[in-house]
Amino acid sequence: MSDVRRLQDNDPEMTGRLDVIYRELFNCYGHQHWWPAEEPFEVMVGAILTQSAAWVNVEKAVASLKKTGVLKPQGIREMPLDGLALLIYSSGYYNAKASKLKALSQYLGDTYRDSLAEMCRRDTRELRDELLKVHGIGEETADSILLYACGKPVFVVDAYTRRIFSRIGLCSDRDSYREIQAVFMQHLPPDVQMFNEYHALIVQHGKDICRKRPLCPRCCLLALCGCGQQGRG
């Protein structure tokens, strides 16, 4: 646990600070309408394809899967690995991600007979532990699935969250994923819609900073993150 965190524990002002940041981001960017997908399985596929990839490239890969009619667990299971890799080529790391999509589809078939409704009825903590055992699903991807596919009140932490909130002193960049997640989940109500919007707003804000786009004046106090380094987890 970092020195920064010790100062935050039981900090009566933390909730207020997180709430102020949320409202300022929302005032700047408005609704983000995440996750941009038509159904839960598409969210899960997108969560894997977006790993270290730009969303525009993920959209192309998802469109290819849709056009081919394999954007469903059974379709991916039955698709040859090399053919699947070709369909998701634009999202990068296509061989690795094809294997991950296979593992995901196999898991859904074996465990829930492809019923995502059944999957989402599981206890949140048990489901999270289960997802983490699937090849290709790490903490951020698991939490994205829990929040955006299942509608469970889980806060998603990503690289932008770590950068921005460590720079403004609300966590340390050396904190673990769970430690940073706890900052939000212990100080904010378990509101699915707010968690949905908050993470999306952080990503949007992080992108604007990295692309050096003009920021709304309200958000200038948050314009403290730099772009990250490639290739490290």
Partner DNA sequence: GGCCAGGACACCA
Partner DNA sequence: TGGTGTCATGGC
Site for DNA, rule CB under 7 A = 34-36, 46-47, 50-57, 85, 89-90, 92-97, 134-142, 144, 148, 158-160, 203, 206-207, 210-211, 227-233
Minimum CB distance to DNA smaller for 14 or for 40: 40
Q: Which two tokens stand for residue 220?
A: 């200038």
Report, in Å, the least distance between residue 39 CB and DNA.
14
Residue 210 makes CB contacts below 8 A (sequence gap 6+) with 225, 226, 227
* Nearest approach, Cβ of residue 115 and DNA (Å): 22
In the complex with DNA, the residue whose CB is nearer, 10 or 230, is: 230
CB of 229 to DNA, least distance (A): 5
Task: Report the distance separating Cα 75 and Cα 60, nearest Å.
Answer: 18
Shortest gap between Cβ of 212 and DNA (angstroms)?
Answer: 9
Structure tokens at 44: 């899960």
- Rounded distance between C-alpha atoms, residue 104 and residue 107, angstroms: 5
Closest to DNA by CB, 14 vs 142, is 142
From the CB of 13, what's the least distance to DNA, in Å? 29
Number of other CB atoms surrounding residue 13 within 10 Å: 10
**CA neighbours closer than 13 Å in the CB half-sphere of residue 227:** 8
Q: Burial of 88 by CB count in 10 Å (0-12 exposed, 13-18 middle, 19+ buried)? A: buried
Taking the least distance from each CB to DNA, the nearer of 11 and 37 is: 37
- Nearer CB in complex with DNA: 73/206: 206
